[in-house]
Amino acid sequence: VRLLLAKRAELRNNYAIEWRLTGVGSRRIGWIADPTGLDPEALLAGQFPSIPAWKTPHNLHQWLATADPQVFFEASSLDWRCGQPAIDHLKAALECGAHAVSANKGPIVHAYLELCALAKARGRRFLFESTVMDGTPIFSMFPHSLPAVDLRGFRGVLNATTNVVLTEMEKGLTLEQAVKRAQDIGVAETDPSDDLDGWDATVKVAALVIVLMGVDIKLDQIERTGIRGITPEQVRAARESGMRYKLICRAERTPSGIRASVKPEQLPLTDPFALLEGTTSAVRFDLDVFGLSIIEHKAAVIATAYGLLGDFIRAVQ
């Protein structure tokens, strides 16, 4: 909402896009809707209108009918096991005629083809640039800027929490202290298990394989090792011998299908991925025509918001 406000003049002047916020759903305020428009500045200031709030999932269709959105943004927390409730939200939004924009990668892994088919049937877009590396061009880049390429595989550092934790452990912290530090700077969640056990990275690998390589891979087909088994001693010994631990994501096309993994690897300091620190993430695509690396430097929450904004512009143009 803050970015929509900051870009309001630019959207109007350069893209002929006017917007109105007709509904919001969050844990704190429930699901509220007003087809004449909610006040975005008031919402940002924590002043919520005194109108009835619905509880989803039971009243999702009532909320949608009242908000009557042309574009729906899905940014609920990831449940990598089933992709819910995000999938139900996106389906309901598409069914009521809205474009569906998701920052939640669960629906890609569990319902990509279904959501694409539904969007196509309704003449709407299902877009999800923010699901991997925030608003960095990945999913929007391939069809438009990289047509007719053969994507043979990729390698990436795609999880910020483990990147911060491993860097802090190099400095001498224990895993627990490093996790605390990552939580203090707002990178790690209260329960960091999904990051530490490699699930977040595994879901990202699956999303890239499903969308960019066209193979409907399942999470249990991706070899997964988290970073809990790495001791501070190992991390520091690696550093002293000119190496750094990174949680590396990999996928490649083989004659027997996609081979994909997420696991800690020691990289020499001459590997550009060894230089990635903090919330900086990167992916290198192996294409038939060249190798292409994309690095997102020092991502903050505005980078995720920007991915949603970019999808909004692409959807309504």
Using the contact rule CB under 8 A, the part of the chain among 104-112, 134-142, 175-183, 188-196 near a copy of itself is 134-142
The residue range among 18-26, 116-124, 155-163, 303-311 that interacts with a copy of itself, by the rule CB under 8 A, is 303-311
Q: Which stretch binds a copy of itself (CB under 8 A): 76-84, 101-109, 117-125, 140-148?
A: 140-148
Asked if 207 touches a copy of itself (CB under 8 A), the answer is: no
Please report whether residue 145 would count as binding a copy of itself according to CB under 8 A: yes
Nearest to 196 by CA among 168, 174, 175: 175
Going 138 to 143 to 146 to 151, the CA torsion angle's sign is positive
**Does residue 40 belong to the site contacting a copy of itself (CB under 8 A)?**
no
CB-nearer residue toward a copy of itself: 21 or 141: 141
Tell me: does residue 18 bind a copy of itself (CB under 8 A).
Answer: no
Helix (H) or strand (E) holding 267: strand 257-268
> What is the contact mask toward a copy of itself in residues 246 to 285, using x (rule: CB under 8 A)?
-----------------------xx-x--x--------x-
According to the binding rule CB under 8 A, does residue 241 interact with a copy of itself? no
**Which residues lie closer than 8 Å to 128 by C-beta, 6 or more apart?**
101, 102, 103, 105, 107, 108, 139, 207, 311
Q: What is the largest CA-CA distance in the chain?
A: 63
Report the residue from 146, 173, 215, 243 that binds a copy of itself according to the rule CB under 8 A.
146
Asked whether position 185 contacts a copy of itself by CB under 8 A, the answer is: no
Q: What are phi and psi of 140, to 5 degrees?
A: -75, -20
- How many residues bind to a copy of itself according to rule CB under 8 A? 44
Q: Which is nearer to a copy of itself, 111 or 308 (CB)?
A: 308
For CA atoms 307, 309, 311, 314, the dihedral sign is negative
Q: Which of 46, 123, 147, 229 binds a copy of itself (CB under 8 A)?
A: 147
Backbone angles phi, psi at 108, to 5 degrees: -65, -45
Residue 1 in contact with a copy of itself, rule: CB under 8 A: no
Angle between helix 86-95 and 106-122 (nearest 10): 10
Exposed, middle or buried, 21 (CB in 10 Å: 0-12/13-18/19+)? middle
Contacts of 151 (CB under 8 A, 6+ apart): 142, 212, 213, 253, 285, 286, 287
The CA-CA-CA angle for residues 109, 112, 118, to 5°, reads 155
Contact segment (CB under 8 A) with a copy of itself among 54-62, 97-105, 137-145, 151-159 equals 137-145
Q: Considering beta carbons, is residue 138 or 175 the nearer one to a copy of itself?
A: 138
Asked if residue 134 lies in contact with residue 291, where contact means CB atoms within 8 angstroms, the answer is no
306 is a contact residue toward a copy of itself (CB under 8 A): yes
Catalytic residue set: 204
Does 294 sit near a copy of itself (CB under 8 A)?
yes
Q: Which residues bind a copy of itself (CB under 8 A)?
A: 3, 7, 10-11, 14-15, 129, 134-137, 140-141, 144-149, 269-270, 272, 275, 284, 289-300, 302-303, 305-306, 309-310, 313-314
